Amino acid sequence: MRRVLTRPDLTLMPRDGAIIFGDLIGKLDVLRVACDKCEREGRYAVARLIEQRGRNAKVIDWLDEITADCPKKRAGNMSDQCTAAQAKKYR
């Protein structure tokens, strides 16, 4: 028989196979996000992202939010859209 532990103070988001910030604990200290097409880039402390968004938040949802104002993302040309993604992993 499988036991399921529940915690009323913990709300889990469906993962749908997505990477969540909790997956990065102990693996990365900093995320570097970059787009080759619009040349935007930034570095984000994983600990701070977890404080702000929670350990169960999806990284892809956060990427969508930080690139929402990118002119390339809103471009009608599908082959010229923003390619912001996790570029390098820093320990």
Mean predicted lDDT score pLDDT of the chain = 76
Tell which residue, 80, 75, 87, 90, has the closest CA to residue 41: 87
Q: What is the DSSP letter of 11?
A: -
Q: What is the DSSP string of 18-78?
A: --BGGGGTTT-SEEEEE-TTT--EEEEEHHHHHHHH-TTSBHHHHHHHHTTT-TTTT-S-G
Where exactly are the structural domains of the chain?
Answer: 21-90
Q: What is the largest CA-CA distance in the chain?
A: 53
HSE-up of residue 3 (Cα within 13 Å, Cβ side): 1
Q: What is the DSSP letter of 85?
A: E
pTM value surpassing 0.75: no
Which tens digits make up the pLDDT trace of 1-19?
444 444 444 555 566 788 8
